[in-house]
Amino acid sequence: MTAELNGRHRRALPDALLALQQQRFRQILWLLMGAFGAVMLANASLGRWTSASIELAMLGPMLLAYWWNRRGHLVRAAWFLIVTLMLGLTVLMVIGQGLFDEAGMAYPALLVFAGLFGNRRLLLWFTSMMVLSFISVYLLDVSGLMPHSPLPVGPLRAFNVCLIVTLSGFFVWLIVSDLRRVLTRLESEKLALQASHAQIEYLALRDSLTGLPNRVSAKEQLKRLLMDSADSPQMVAVLLLDLDNFKTINDSLGHAAGDVLLCQVADALGMCVGNSGMVARASGDEFFILLGGVQTQDSVDDMVGRIFDTLEQAFPLDGLDVPVTASVGIAMAPGDGNDASTLLEHADMAMYRAKESGRNTFLHFAPDMAGGAVEDLKIASRLRLAIAQNELQLHFQPQIGLRSGRITGAEALLRWQHPEWGLVAPARFIPIAERSGLITVIGDLVMQQACQAARAWRAQGLGELVVAVNVSPLQFQRGNLEAVVSAALNSAGLPTSALELELTESSLLADAQHLSAALQRLSSTGVHITIDDFGTGYSNLGYLRRFAVDRLKIDQSFVRRMCANPHDEGLVRAIIEMAHCLDLQVVAEGVEDAATRARLAEFGCEFGQGFHWSPALPMDAFVAFVRAHPAQGLQTH
């Protein structure tokens, strides 16, 4: 049973607490052996050999208990020692002065000892045994079997009483010091736990990078602002601010620099808004600004103006002064919604419309934005199915050599023929495809279909026509466009000279360093590179010299008006002359009449496309058009 109790005790106590109890047991044993040795010597000096012999005999069990304790059997040693001490003290009482004997005074100290090293059952058991021993001594006394009488008070009795009190005090001191230590540790753990909870709460409600309140905290604050303004004529405004072109900074300077910029912007917004509202980080490069107690919409617009003025001050970053612009969407309660979720959603819609409007601007939420968002979601969902069901098809608009009149190639234009909606305009679904990430899948599909079409043209004897494919900036950002182009050409068995890639100026500026290297590699293989819609973007001559570009494509908005508007004609002529100075060929799109074609040829423009010759045609119709064209043949680039 003892071994079993000892095993349970060890399992119940942590190692540190068990080691402390073993240490305390050793200390008490040394003190007890010293006390019994001193009493034994005192009794022997007075000739009380019986008491001295009993006290000497008790030293043996104490040594055995000490050995068991060193072996890790604490409970066994405690039981054994307490039983030995109780029997020894009882015998001393019986042969001594009975209930008058000072040995009885040691019982309370023995109970403290049992409480320190035993368990509740051990303590109750020994309490009962001690009470029975007192009753037994009393009965022996009153029955006359072993009467006792008090001896005169002497030095030995005083010594024994002082020794018992000292031992009892030592036991109590051990209990109090250990209890104080436990309480101190518990208080320390309580403080640590409170600090941990505070840190967890901070992390749950704060952004770890900027230290601003996070989205959860902002939403709770917005709820409080709405409750406070429920019975007030004042309004609540939610501003969602998104940094423009932040990805370019991350890609060019690194994410560490991007994090530094976010912290700088957070500090700048906080100083700009001050105590008039809350600035929170929504996610990534998006920030919330919550304003309560708003009197008029103009005051919100003034705040946005101050924010834009603040951001216009360039931020120092890695030795550069980096300018920052932002797109801001605004939703206001109660006009745009009465609950936090609705206002946040409407601010998000307005922010995306601001981005679509050219960025570096702000827009207030309007009801038609919600309808447009639902429609966009419906188109994005249906577009995935359209890809799987081959509803997306290519049409081809011929490109004509202006001097020879020959068909040199065609631009592949994507069309979506929905079974219920009819023909969905590319301007409607292409931006949605870009926002949803589907553009990369669609781009790969277009590249494959265009190359297969060019192979079919050659197999049908139409000549070495070049197919032009529009490339989205996201396809370059994904980083595998070169592999996609190579796979499409190899699958169709086409030479690289049969493919032309058309990119807009804005895509060239999005990630200039990466694009320059990629375009250089593609151009070196023989793939033609064309800048599409030239004149509507930055029109930066430095970029034209830097990139491996073969042709410029003048935007149709200029070409269509050139015969009616001298300014547009001058602009078209200037673009053509500039391109020739840079050894670039020119394609004019949007040619709709013979007069425009003649003027373009007069200015030296090499190629044209437009309704003057043909709109974009399905595959079979395009083949028929080429075969019927009077000047059918190949005009080399």
Amino acid at 125: W
Residue 154 has what pLDDT? 65
Distance (Å, whole) CA 613 – CA 593: 9
Grouping H, G, I as helix, E, B as strand and the rest as coil, residue 440 is helix
Residue 480 has what pLDDT? 79
Out of 312-316, 338-342, 446-450, which region has the weakest mean confidence (pLDDT)?
Answer: 312-316
Residue 72 has what pLDDT? 78
438 in Cβ contact with 380 (< 8 Å): yes
**What Å distances lie between residue 189 and 184, 193, 195, 322, CA to CA?**
9, 6, 10, 48
Identify the band that residue 5 occupies on the pLDDT scale cut at 50, 70 and 90. very low
Centre a 10 Å sphere on the Cβ of residue 305 and count the other Cβ atoms it contains. Answer: 11
Mean pLDDT of 246-264: 83
β partners of residue 553: 587
Out of 135-139, 374-378, 483-487, 611-615, which region has the weakest mean confidence (pLDDT)?
Answer: 374-378
**What Å distances lie between residue 88 and 66, 158, 451, CA to CA?**
18, 20, 107
pLDDT value at 351 more than 70? yes
Instruction: Note the Cα 132 to chain centre separation in Å.
Output: 70
Residue 521 has what pLDDT? 87
Mean pLDDT of 479-504: 90
For 350-363, letters b (16+ CB in 10 Å) and e give: bbbbbbeeeebbbb
325 in Cβ contact with 244 (< 8 Å): yes
Identify the band that residue 534 occupies on the pLDDT scale cut at 50, 70 and 90. confident
**pLDDT-above-70 percentage for the chain:** 89
Instruction: Give per-residue pLDDT as tens, 9-35.
Output: 444 456 666 777 777 777 777 877 877
Instruction: Give per-residue pLDDT as tens, 152-172.
Output: 766 776 777 777 777 777 777
Identify the band that residue 318 occupies on the pLDDT scale cut at 50, 70 and 90. confident
pLDDT value at 425 more than 70? yes
Distance (Å, whole) CA 288 – CA 121: 64
Identify the band that residue 6 occupies on the pLDDT scale cut at 50, 70 and 90. very low
Biggest alpha carbon–alpha carbon distance for the chain: 149
Residue 479 has what pLDDT? 65
Residue 8 has what pLDDT? 44
Q: Which residue has the higher pLDDT, 540 or 375?
A: 375
Assess whether the previous peptide bond of 334 is cis (omega < 30° from 0).
yes
Residue 141 has what pLDDT? 83
pLDDT value at 261 more than 80? yes
| Structure tokens that stand for 220 in this block | 């709770």
Distance (Å, whole) CA 37 – CA 53: 11
Centre a 10 Å sphere on the Cβ of residue 545 and count the other Cβ atoms it contains. Answer: 9
Distance (Å, whole) CA 141 – CA 130: 17
Most confident of 105-114, 315-324, 439-448: 439-448
pLDDT value at 49 more than 50? yes
Alpha helices in 229-330 (DSSP H): 246-253, 255-273, 297-312
134 in Cβ contact with 104 (< 8 Å): yes
Identify the band that residue 373 occupies on the pLDDT scale cut at 50, 70 and 90. low
Mean pLDDT of 524-541: 76
Residue 448 has what pLDDT? 94
pLDDT value at 4 more than 60? no
Q: Which residue has the higher pLDDT, 624 or 100?
A: 624
Closest CA to 138 of 175, 172, 107, 101: 101
Instruction: Give per-residue pLDDT as tens, 174-216.
Output: 777 777 787 788 888 888 888 777 777 666 778 888 889 988 8
DSSP secondary structure letter of residue 480:
-
Grouping H, G, I as helix, E, B as strand and the rest as coil, residue 437 is coil
Distance (Å, whole) CA 393 – CA 413: 8
Residue 253 has what pLDDT? 78
Grouping H, G, I as helix, E, B as strand and the rest as coil, residue 80 is helix
For 35-58, letters b (16+ CB in 10 Å) and e give: bbeebbebbeeeebeebbebbbeb
| Structure tokens that stand for 520 in this block | 């250089």
550 in Cβ contact with 529 (< 8 Å): yes
Closest CA to 76 of 127, 32, 30, 25: 25
Choosing among 3.50.50.60, 3.20.20.450, 3.40.190.10, 3.90.1150.10, the CATH entry for 376-628 is 3.20.20.450
pLDDT value at 546 more than 90? no
Residue 637 has what pLDDT? 43
DSSP secondary structure letter of residue 359:
S
Ordered by start, the domain boundaries in the chain are 2-183, 215-365, 376-628
| Structure tokens that stand for 620 in this block | 């079979």
Q: Give 536-541 contacts, CB < 8 A, sequence gap 24+.
A: 536/505, 537/504, 537/505, 537/506, 537/509, 538/505, 538/506, 538/509, 539/505, 540/505, 540/509, 541/578, 541/582
Using DSSP bridges, classify how beta strands 528-534 and 551-554 pair: parallel, antiparallel or unpaired.
Answer: parallel
Q: What CATH number does the domain located at 215-365 have?
A: 3.30.70.270
Residue 514 has what pLDDT? 64
Residue 62 has what pLDDT? 81
Closest CA to 29 of 82, 86, 104: 82
pLDDT value at 606 more than 80? yes
Amino acid at 239: L
- Given CA atoms 170, 171, 176, 179 in this order, what sign does their dihedral have? positive
Q: Report the interhelical angle of 74-95 vs 120-143 (nearest 10°).
A: 10
Identify the band that residue 508 occupies on the pLDDT scale cut at 50, 70 and 90. low
Distance (Å, whole) CA 470 – CA 530: 9
Residue 9 has what pLDDT? 45
Residue 7 has what pLDDT? 45
Instruction: Note the Cα 248 to chain centre separation in Å.
Output: 21
Residue 173 has what pLDDT? 76
Instruction: Give per-residue pLDDT as tens, 382-414.
Output: 888 888 888 899 999 999 999 999 999 999 999
| Global confidence as pTM | 0.51
Grouping H, G, I as helix, E, B as strand and the rest as coil, residue 17 is helix
Residue 501 has what pLDDT? 93
pLDDT value at 466 more than 90? yes
